[in-house]
Amino acid sequence: MKAVLYHEPGGPEVLKFEEVEDPVPGKGDVVVEVAATSLNRLDVLQRNGWFQMPGFVYPHISGMDIAGTVIEIGEDVSNVQLGDRVVVDPSLAGVSDASSLAGRGDLFGELGILGANADGGYAEKCLAPASHVYLIPDEISFEDAATFPTCYMTASHSLFKVGKLKKGETVIIHAAGSGVGVAAIQLAKNAGATVLATAGTDDKCERAMQLGASHVMNNREGDLAAWAREITQGEGVRMVMDCVGTALFGASLFAIGVKGRLVNCGNASGDEAVIPSLGYVFHSGISIHGSDPYEPEEFGPVWEEFCSGNYKTEIDSIYPLKDAGEAQEKMLSGAFFGKILLTP
């Protein structure tokens, strides 16, 4: 099969479109013919060598978000059939011993993730545990399904499992134009929360309004905390979901009201953050939470929610697999809204 892989860190030039061996399913595995895979920031971080997941090895095939057709099944597989259209849960937590990908389920250690430290979707075919594939309804395209796994699971886990967001609460969601931001705005809105969204351009702010945000702000202009307090009549928001990190961390804390919380699920602008006032944090009872990996049982219910018809996918662009380097550079530039896809 053809795949895009790299043997060493570097720029887009290290990505090679090569012939590699086809995956072979274990007793509890399936082989998926990839119809679409979407890009994530980790793809570029690992390619450049800036960060690598525990268990990462060269050569590496990226692509955590995979949608396609089952073309081979292991002898113990009974939950899916040849020809089924499926989306893949990339986390290897909860994989049965019958899978050749078993034994990599430590959520807080060397967690296996397809496309992160196991071969992923930048290929014509991908190996997946049969327990981790979910049927795609006929009305949902492969491309739309490929926008789901990483972004929706990150957003849902951060908002609800970690952040305990409730109906009627106010929440700030940063990076509204990112895949996670697009997912989080809609998940929070559909749960009955009031969404305040921020982004780095006015155009992205306008599009966030179309997704369900009640208020938007260009986070490169103005005073974030003052904006949030004006909207909430001085009280501050109940929660901030932050995947940006350094750039907005301090302002986000001052935007939170008494006994509110900040949930961090990313570090797109840097890995260091300063708490500008410990006095404000402890006096106001502010809590700061890290959004840890989601658990296997979370994927199915969130996928069902996504399939309900109440969600709009945002696909910025689609590139052929051989142009993965160009697609990654576009993502790194920030000049996109939603998800960038590759199709074999």
Q: Mean pLDDT throughout 199-214?
A: 97
For all residues of the chain together, what is the average pLDDT?
A: 97
CA 229 to chain centre: 29
- What is the pLDDT confidence band of residue 77, given thresholds at 50, 70 and 90? very high
Per-residue pLDDT at 292 = 96
pTM of the model: 0.96
Q: Is the predicted pLDDT of residue 342 greater than 90, yes or no?
A: yes
Query: Rounded to whole angstroms, how far apart are CA atoms 190 and 237?
Result: 18
The pLDDT score that the predictor gives to residue 55 is: 96
Q: pLDDT per residue over 245-261, tens digit each?
A: 999 999 999 999 999 99
Q: Which CATH class name applies to 2-147+313-343?
A: alpha beta
Residue 222 pLDDT: 86
User: Where exactly does CATH 3.40.50.720 map onto the chain?
Assistant: 152-290
Extended beta strands in 6-139, E state: 16-19, 29-38, 65-73, 85-88, 125-129, 133-135
152-290 maps to which CATH number? 3.40.50.720
Confidence class of residue 133 from pLDDT cuts 50, 70 and 90? very high
Q: Is 90 exceeded by the pLDDT of residue 333?
A: yes
pLDDT tier for residue 137 given thresholds of 50, 70 and 90: very high
Report pLDDT for 218. 97
pLDDT digits (tens, 9 = 90+) for 162-173: 999 999 999 999
**pLDDT band at residue 126 using 50, 70 and 90 as cut-offs:** very high
Residues 6+ apart with CB under 8 A from 226: none
Domain with CATH 3.90.180.10 in the chain: 2-147+313-343
Strand pairing class (85-88; 65-73): antiparallel
The pLDDT assigned to 47 comes to 98
Calpha distance 8→293 (Å, rounded): 27
Which residue pairs, CB below 8 angstroms and at least 24 apart, start in 107-113? 107/292, 107/293, 107/295, 108/292, 108/293, 109/54, 110/54, 110/55, 111/53, 111/54, 111/293, 112/55, 113/53, 113/64
Q: Write the pLDDT tens digit of every residue in 275-299.
A: 999 999 999 999 999 999 999 999 9
Q: Please name the amino acid found at residue 115.
A: G
Amino acid at 263: V
Q: Mean pLDDT, to the nearest integer, of 132-137?
A: 98
Residues 3-60 have pLDDT tens digits of 999 999 999 999 999 999 999 999 999 999 999 999 999 999 999 999 999 999 999 9
Q: For 55-82, what is the mean pLDDT?
A: 98
Q: Yes or no: say if 85 and 141 are a contact pair by the CB < 8 Å rule.
A: no
Tens of pLDDT, residues 214-250: 999 999 998 999 999 999 999 999 999 999 999 999 9
